[in-house]
């Protein structure tokens, strides 16, 4: 096993820009990259720019007519075809859209290749995690599904078991759909309940197609879930599934939009709990997947206060040089934040909730508690299909 982690990065990924009124402001990527540098983490990882995903790679997941529609919209945004989800409010077309989307996808595919071949034990692409893109259409700020493409590439390289764990506040619907019929891929998504949030899927009863029963697991969390509940849900579902499935590679998606400050969703998770789940994913990769870990970003619309800190922690964990939550953020980064956004950046790498605590599932559940009901619904729907006790 190889020591150093890879950070996938090409500055051009910041060209993934739907325009000034869109919540997915690419400054979140630039500020994350600068914060990684401010803590000297760029010297602790190999920073690698992979090539863009080519047509044959995109075709592992996406339909040819959809890729052609993206290319057409990329050349002439006025030609965007809403039948493919392009030129919509969520996914406005912009010049160069195909190229930058393929570049982001290429970073996740490159991460998967590096981990599979042993060039790196862990690889991070925080520009990725675009989990809503469907085989035949754009959705939810996502053009190409880099997470699905990374997994598809692993399968192409010979992987027989890949686990995907998605802790974005939104359901990882595109990845679930891509591998709905494939028992080689276990998709686990923890998200805000579809009743209250886009994309209105991710019900516990979604468990995979015939022949792949139990290959999809969905934990639909009540709006308002905070640290203790979110961590209890994660630890009550994910480790047992991973221990049983024994993936050869663990792919995780770390959307930071679970945060209490996030403007687009309604969970109440802190940076400190996000970091605790990142640490847990890292440990699961070591315990059950010989350390092979591909970690992706995802959503996150508190672009100054939350996203850069959350994903800097992710890079630090992958690098094996964790940044203590109490760490003070270098003033140079805060100056850059102000220069770029006219906002004041955060001061520390914590929300002051560290250490976060939760009660594990084995301590028993409360049938009247909505969080416990959500966990039990997920377990009851999927676990028996995998031969596990609900
Ligand atoms: Zn999201």
45, pLDDT greater than 50: yes
Q: What whole-number distance in Å separates Cα of residue 178 and Cα of residue 245?
A: 19
Q: Quick check: 277 pLDDT over 50?
A: yes
Mean pLDDT of the 335-340 span: 98
Ligand 1 centroid to residue 315 C-alpha, Å: 19
pLDDT at 364: 87
Q: Which of 135, 152, 153 is nearest to 144 (CA)?
A: 135
Q: Collect all residues with Cβ–Cβ distance below 8 Å to 310 and sequence separation of at least 6.
A: 254, 256, 259, 271, 274, 275, 300
Compute, in angstroms, the gap from residue 22 CA to the centroid of ligand 1.
14
Which residues are catalytic, by number? Answer: 132
Spatial distance between the Cα atoms of 131 and 346, rounded to a whole number of angstroms? 28
| Average of per-residue pLDDT values in the chain | 97
pLDDT tens, 140-154?
999 999 999 999 999
- With a cut of 70, say whether residue 173 has pLDDT above it: yes
Q: Does residue 339 have a pLDDT over 80?
A: yes
Local confidence band at 178 (pLDDT 50, 70, 90 cut-offs): very high
- The CATH number given to whatever domain includes residue 124 is 3.40.800.20
pLDDT in tens, 114-142: 999 999 999 999 999 999 999 999 999 99
Mean pLDDT of 194-214: 98
Q: How far apart are the C-alpha atoms of 361 and 55, rounded to whole Å?
A: 45
* Contact between residue 292 and residue 250 where contact means Cβ atoms under 8 Å apart: yes
Please state the rounded mean pLDDT for residues 72-97: 98
- Arithmetic mean of pLDDT, 334-354: 98
How does residue 1 score in pLDDT terms, banded at 50, 70 and 90?
very low
pLDDT at 348: 98
Q: What is the pLDDT of residues 154-167, one digit of tens each?
A: 999 999 999 999 99
> Which residues, in sequence order, are CB contacts of 248 under 8 Å at separation 6+?
154, 159, 160, 161, 162, 289, 290, 292
Q: Is the pLDDT of residue 2 over 70?
A: no
Round to whole Å and give the CA distance between 257 and 279. 18
In angstroms, rounded to a whole number, what is the distance separating the alpha carbons of residues 123 and 293? 6
pLDDT band for position 3 (cuts 50, 70, 90): low
Q: How far is the CA of 281 from the centre of ligand 1 (A)?
A: 18
Q: Which domain holds residue 260?
A: 5-386
pLDDT at 56 over 50: yes
Overall number of domains in the chain: 1
- Output the CA 256–ligand 1 centroid distance in Å: 7
The predicted model gives 292-321 an average pLDDT of: 98
């Amino acid at each position: 096993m190889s020591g150093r982690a890879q950070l996938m990065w090409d500055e051009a990924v910041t060209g993934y820009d739907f325009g000034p009124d869109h919540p997915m402001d690419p400054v979140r990527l630039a500020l994350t990259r600068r914060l990684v540098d401010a803590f000297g983490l760029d010297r602790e990882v190999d920073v690698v720019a992979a090539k863009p995903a080519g047509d044959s790679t995109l075709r592992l997941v996406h339909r040819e007519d959809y890729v052609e529609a993206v290319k057409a919209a990329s050349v002439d945004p006025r030609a965007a075809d809403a039948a493919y989800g392009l030129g919509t409010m969520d996914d406005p077309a912009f010049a160069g859209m195909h190229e930058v989307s393929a570049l982001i996808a290429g970073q996740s595919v490159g991460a998967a290749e590096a981990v599979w071949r042993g060039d790196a034990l862990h690889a991070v692409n925080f520009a990725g995690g675009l989990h809503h893109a469907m085989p035949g259409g754009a959705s939810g700020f996502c053009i190409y599904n880099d997470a699905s493409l990374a997994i598809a590439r692993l399968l192409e390289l010979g992987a027989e078991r890949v686990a995907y764990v998605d802790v974005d506040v939104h359901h990882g619907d595109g990845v679930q759909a891509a591998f709905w019929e494939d028992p080689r891929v276990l998709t686990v998504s923890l998200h805000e309940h579809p009743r209250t949030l886009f994309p209105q899927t991710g019900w516990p009863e979604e468990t995979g197609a015939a022949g792949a029963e139990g290959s999809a697991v969905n934990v639909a969390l009540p709006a308002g879930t905070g640290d203790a509940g979110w961590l209890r849900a994660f630890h009550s579902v994910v480790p047992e599934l991973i221990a049983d499935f024994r993936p050869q590679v663990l792919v995780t998606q770390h959307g930071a939009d679970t945060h209490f400050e996030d403007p687009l969703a309604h969970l109440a998770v802190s940076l400190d709990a996000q970091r605790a789940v990142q640490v847990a994913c890292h440990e699961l990769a070591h315990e059950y997947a010989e350390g092979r870990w591909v970690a992706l970003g995802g959503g996150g619309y508190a672009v100054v206060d939350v996203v850069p800190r959350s994903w800097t922690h992710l890079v630090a964990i992958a690098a094996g040089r964790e940044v203590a939550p109490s760490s003070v953020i270098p003033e140079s980064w805060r100056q850059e934040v102000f220069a770029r956004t006219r906002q004041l950046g955060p001061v520390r790498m914590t929300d002051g909730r560290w250490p976060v605590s939760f009660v594990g599932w084995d301590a028993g559940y409360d049938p009247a508690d909505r969080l416990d009901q959500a966990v039990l619904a997920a377990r009851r729907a999927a676990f028996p299909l995998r031969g596990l006790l609900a």
